[in-house]
Structure 1
Amino acid sequence: MCAFEHHNSLSIGYVALKKSQNSLERRCRRLPRRTMAAVPSRFLLVTGPPGVGKTTLVMRVFETLRGSHPNLNIRGFYTREVREGGERIGFEVVTLDGRTGPLSSCKVSRERMRHNEGIFQPSRKIRPEGIEPGSWMFDEFKNFCNLDILTHTIAFWFFCSPESVRWPTVGKYKVDVASLESLAVPELQVKEETDLFIIDEVGKMELFSSAFFPAVMRVIESNIPVLATIPIPRQGRDIPGVARLRNHPGAAVFTLDTGNRDTMRDTICSQLRSLLQKR
């Protein structure tokens, strides 16, 4: 065989091999899409800007499913505004069976603070010597602790007054951690008879509770469908706990806006019905 014929034979073989490789790659790329379509995610996350209607959407989905499947065992909670004279003064937690409790308020009475005093018992000496409120070191540490929720929580435990530890603040609101843990956290107990969990929401206020996020993770790692809401990143920065949920490999994230609310509800209802039929 001459050199030209040998080179031509190698070229033909290379082209055939390349075609076979491309065909295999196309088949492999198609396989995950078919698998994902056949097995929809059981962890549904709704996100969107404040006031867009995340809670309204979740409650409409809940009412739709309860209307079509009255025997479903749905556990969880949602949050709603508390208003006084047209002004929002806080938020409250509402369980799906109708029980309510305060989540946060800008009008927390001293009596309520004293009532919850026995629940959190941090040491009176919780600031290292030399770092006192008003000092430059204290101010520098507070600026550093604005980075994320973890350092913010550390700041409360080590540098703030005992009252601030029991009643952390988000903006003008004081968060009632004890109320959240006594009402919402028990609703997140994983039980075999539960068909669906609804969690509205996993946000900055809720994450001040050391018991809340582990309870959420146990729910997600169970085999029970979950519908939850999370806030959007603020100024491009996500709360670490929220980011962990958003990036969870089993999560399907739905971004809500004013133009897709109706279609989003139908999509989520359809996906949950499909999941519930397989249980």
Structure 2
Amino acid sequence: MKPEVSMGRTLLLTGRPGIGKTTVVKTVVETLGEGAGGFYTEEIRGPGGRQGFRLVTLDGQEAVMAHVNLRGQERPRVTRYGVDVSAIERVGVTAVRQAIARGQLVVIDEIGKMELFCGPFKDVVLKAMNSPHPMLATVMAKPTPWVDSLKLMPHVMVWDVTVQNRDEMPSQVYRWLER
């Protein structure tokens, strides 16, 4: 499926893992309050380090998206994590649909390998990009055909978050939103 976009404005933040993309998104969302909807992803930490990832909607719902203890042949895996595709659809996709319906800034953190196992997630990303509302999303830096095709679409800006610019990035995002 080749994505197409006809409307909307989309800002994709990219950069290496741990550089601060989610921090930028959370800072922007805290300022906007109810003017934003969608979700962000956070690590689940435990003994021995990272155990998985949780989706957290901007209105407080949560679901475990991937975990080392999620097993089963029907589950897709990314490195050592089993991915719960139904959690992505139930919580993440629903949050994005609601943000679009409410006319909010659509926030998606992130459009990554795990999320891409969910067909409805890919559909709602395209729906958000086609909506008249702005979208702020994070994407993996590693080349991935579907995500790379998003980066090339009209009305899409891609900003690289680095150690040098991450502290100033929220104010740059606010200026982008004001245009």
Q: Same fold (TM over 0.5)?
A: yes
Q: Are positions 1:185 and 2:90 aligned together?
A: no
Shift of 1:262: 1.6
Q: For 1:101 and 1:195, how far apart are their aligned partners in 2? A: 22
For residues 178-228 of structure 1, what are the alpha-carbon distances to aligned partners after superposition, in whole Å with 9 as ceiling and x for unaligned?
A: 111111111122645322100000011000011110111011011011000
Return 5+ residue gaps in structure 1 as ranges: 1-40, 114-162
Q: What TM-score comes out, normalization by structure 1 length?
A: 0.58
Q: For 1:208 and 1:88, how far apart are their aligned partners in 2? A: 21
Secondary structure of 1:211's aligned partner: helix
Question: Superposed, which structure 2 residues align to 1:81-230 within 5 Å?
Answer: 81-85=43-47, 87-108=49-70, 163-164=72-73, 166-189=74-97, 191-230=100-139
* Moved segments of 4+, more than 2 Å: 190-193
Shift of 1:86: 5.3
Q: For 2:27 and 2:48, how far apart are their aligned partners in 1? A: 24
State the identity as a percent. 39
8 Å CA contact retained: 2:151, 2:158:
yes
Shift of 1:75: 1.4
- The amino acid across from 1:170 in the alignment is V
Secondary structure of 1:215's aligned partner: helix
Give the number of aligned pairs.
171
**More helix per residue: 1 or 2?**
1
- The amino acid across from 1:107 in the alignment is N
Q: For 1:90 and 1:245, how far apart are their aligned partners in 2? A: 26
Corresponding residue for residue 243 of structure 1: 148
Structure 1 or 2, whichever has the larger Rg, is 1
**More strand per residue: 1 or 2?**
2
Q: For 2:41 and 2:125, how far apart are their aligned partners in 1? A: 16
Corresponding residue for residue 264 of structure 1: 169
For residues 75-127 of structure 1, what are the alpha-carbon distances to aligned partners after superposition, in whole Å with 9 as ceiling and x for unaligned?
A: 1000000011351100010000111101101122xxxx6xxxxxxxxxxxxxx
Q: What TM-score comes out, normalization by structure 2 length?
A: 0.90
Q: For 1:176 and 1:168, how far apart are their aligned partners in 2? A: 8
Corresponding residue for residue 48 of structure 1: 15
